[in-house]
Structure 1
Amino acid sequence: MRVANVANLLTGVRLVLVPIFLLALFAGNGHESGYRITAFAIFAVAVITDRFDGALARTYGMVTEFGKLADPIADKMLIGAALIGLSMLGDVPWWVTVVILVRELGITVLRLVVLRHGVIPAGRGGKLKTLVQAVAIGLFVLPLHNWSSPWLTVAWAIMWAAVVLTVLTGIDYVVCAVKDSRERSAGR
């Protein structure tokens, strides 16, 4: 399978959007509404490319080794950059960023270890976790401090859901990897 395909191009676009997103997020004093809305739009486009690149790759047989590696890296870079940026600006507590990033980095390392035996695909829980994280982060990127407090309450409720899903899906992934490893060992 050729590396140059639409799915991998979208992954590349997402990688390029990460520093552009950060520039918009920190533009001005980091809390100017116009720049924050621009940062949100860039973040939203990047999240949408994640949805489409995987669907295209699976539907049209464009799955490549490059895509299998680059797609999760692009996802982690986007989520990580957004969370670190929001924590640096004081909009998201550092503990939220640390919990999510430790899980993401831990699962990435586990995937690399398991990669030689095959890929453990993301389950429904992982896909839901990614969606909820993206919605929560997107809401915090928006200039909610200028909006009514119910919006901020909604953003926090979704962020809490993201943290809980992040932890639960991380545990589930580790359990599946251990079970898969034991089954492979027993089959030898």
Structure 2
Amino acid sequence: MNLPNKLTMFRVILIPFFVICLLVPAFQNNIGQLVALIIFIVASLTDMADGKIARKYNLVTNFGKFMDPLADKLLVCSAMICLVSLDDLPGWVVVIIIAREFVISGFRLIASDNNVVIAASMWGKVKTVFQMGMIILILLNFSCLPTIASIILHAIIPIVIGITVVLTIVSLIDYLIKNKEVLKEQK
């Protein structure tokens, strides 16, 4: 259990605390939302850190290859489901994003069965950054924000949601086109 893997597991451990801060009625206030925001930002930063450390110090492991993307999906999907529950994010957005994750996970499973590793693409990485950024912006939308900040966030959030959905679809198409050989029967 090296440092990158510990950071990945730390990200997974943070998820229930994030969910509690957003959904447990005792925490549903500006303080709970602020704590949830801080937890999400810390968890997102561990996503960037674990990969960089693993590559820089040659600490890449099979556990990390499996667990890092899973931790990302758990974090982002948990956050989006919470935001739907709070009526802060449209459900159809989350359905598209989660459907994409299932398709890519299935695709990667088929690939691994054929001894092919599908690396994360540039589109997939940009998509993840936008998903995390979208969640952060939505969480930033505190009821105690000054009026001008609230107006700006209300204007920006739908645009970021739209870009995130487009990037989600583009990254899916990119994966499928670049890796279509995976679906062909291996002999």
TM-score between the two structures when normalised by the length of structure 2 = 0.90
Alpha-carbon shift at residue 34 of structure 1 (Å)? 1.3
Instruction: Tell me if the contact between 2:130 and 2:160 (Cα under 8 Å) persists in the aligned partners.
Output: yes
- Paired residues for 1:22-41 under 5 Å: 22-28=19-25, 31-41=28-38
Instruction: Tell me if the contact between 1:30 and 1:89 (Cα under 8 Å) persists in the aligned partners.
Output: no
Aligned residue in 1 for 2:45: 48
Alpha-carbon shift at residue 28 of structure 1 (Å)? 3.3
Indicate whether 1:130 and 2:132 are aligned.
no
Tell me, in whole angstroms, the C-alpha distance in 2 between the residues paired with 1:152 and 1:10.
Answer: 33
**Consecutive unaligned residues in structure 2, runs of 5 or more:** none
Tell me, in whole angstroms, the C-alpha distance in 1 between the residues paired with 2:83 and 2:27.
Answer: 9
Matched to 1:168, the amino acid is V
Identity of counterpart residues, as a percentage? 36
The number of equivalent residue pairs is: 182
Instruction: Tell me if the contact between 1:27 and 1:35 (Cα under 8 Å) persists in the aligned partners.
Output: no
Q: 156, 159, 162: which one pairs with 2:161?
A: 159
Query: What are the superposed Cα offsets for residues 117-164 of structure 1, whole Å, 9 maximum, x if unpaired?
Result: 221111111111110110001111223454422212112211111110
- Paired residues for 1:53-132 under 5 Å: 53-116=50-113, 117-132=115-130
Alpha-carbon shift at residue 113 of structure 1 (Å)? 1.6
Tell me, in whole angstroms, the C-alpha distance in 2 between the residues paired with 1:118 and 1:53.
Answer: 23
Indicate whether 1:17 and 2:14 are aligned.
yes
Matched to 1:130, the amino acid is T
Of stretches 127-136 and 116-125 in structure 1, the one that deviates more from structure 2 is: 116-125
Aligned residue in 1 for 2:178: 176
Tell me, in whole angstroms, the C-alpha distance in 2 between the residues paired with 1:132 and 1:169.
Answer: 12
**Consecutive unaligned residues in structure 1, runs of 5 or more:** none
